[in-house]
Amino acid sequence: MAKPNTRQFDRIIETAGRKLQGVRNREMWALPAGDQAKVAGYVGVAFAKATRLKSSPMAERGIDRIWANAEAALTAEIAAAEKAKAGVLAEHAAAKVAKRAESKWW
């Protein structure tokens, strides 16, 4: 019986892991395009307020919220891919056991 093909899940886990590391390092490339635009908008608001010597807690909270949501989404994506991979491996193992139980060579 051939080994189960889990390359697709491995690739998803690896890609999401790299993106998660990028999000944790606050690198913009790791965010989806829509979130990159939102962060740029918040940075623009914060910059405009800073030039007028005012604070912008709303913009800072917005940016923090975007990073936190991105981290949560990537963590969930990794967990789901690992669960799916484990399911494929368990299914393969169950089929292997059933095949062995079916043949009565001993």
What is the structure's pLDDT at 38? 97
Spatial distance between the Cα atoms of 35 and 28, rounded to a whole number of angstroms: 9
CB 92 within 8 A of CB 4: yes
- What's the whole-model pTM score? 0.85
pLDDT in tens, 12-50: 999 999 999 999 999 999 999 999 999 999 999 999 999
Q: Tens digits of per-residue pLDDT, 46-72?
A: 999 999 999 989 999 999 999 999 999
The model's pLDDT over 62-106, given as tens digits with 9 standing for 90+, comes to 999 999 999 999 999 999 999 999 999 999 999 988 888 887 665
Q: Are 51 and 31 in contact (CB under 8 A)?
A: no
Instruction: Tell me whether residue 90 is exposed, middle or buried, using C-beta atoms within 10 angstroms of its C-beta: 0 to 12, 13 to 18, 19 or more.
Output: exposed
